[in-house]
Amino acid sequence: MSETNILRIEGELTIFRAMELKPILLAMPPVDVIDLSGVTDLDTAGVQLLMLAKETALAAQRDVKLVAHSPAVIEVFELLNVAAYFGDHLVMDSRTASGAARS
């Protein structure tokens, strides 16, 4: 049984950190899980980096999972409508349901 390689991202996932995080996301052994609970800000460069990690994993016939989405991540994924790309539709559904309950 293989060990899961988890990357927990803290702080900004923006253009200012993209060059720092890219080699970590694409390193060997590959990251299996990206924990987004500590992300405080996400921009399109960060989204592109996550997409690159996903595409690189799929090209190697493996998967990378995004977990524990912070409110900042959910907001941007919702704004850009990219949750389905990552397979995160349940995250969006649960946020929509909780938002509707507050209305």
Sequence-distant (≥ 6) Cβ neighbours of residue 89 within 8 angstroms: 83
Q: Write the pLDDT tens digit of every residue in 43-80.
A: 999 999 999 999 999 998 988 899 999 999 999 999 99
Q: How many CB atoms lie within 10 A of CB 74?
A: 19
Output the CA torsion 35→41→46→50 (10° steps).
Answer: 20
Secondary structure of residue 10 in the 3-state scheme: strand
> Exposed/middle/buried for 27, CB within 10 Å: 0-12, 13-18, 19+?
exposed
| Domains of the chain, first to last | 6-102 (3.30.750.24)
pLDDT band, very low/low/confident/very high, at 100 (cuts 50, 70, 90): very low
Confidence of residue 35 (pLDDT cuts 50, 70, 90): very high
Q: Are 24 and 54 in contact, with CB atoms under 8 Å apart?
A: no
Q: Is the bond preceding 29 in cis, omega lying within 30 degrees of 0?
A: yes
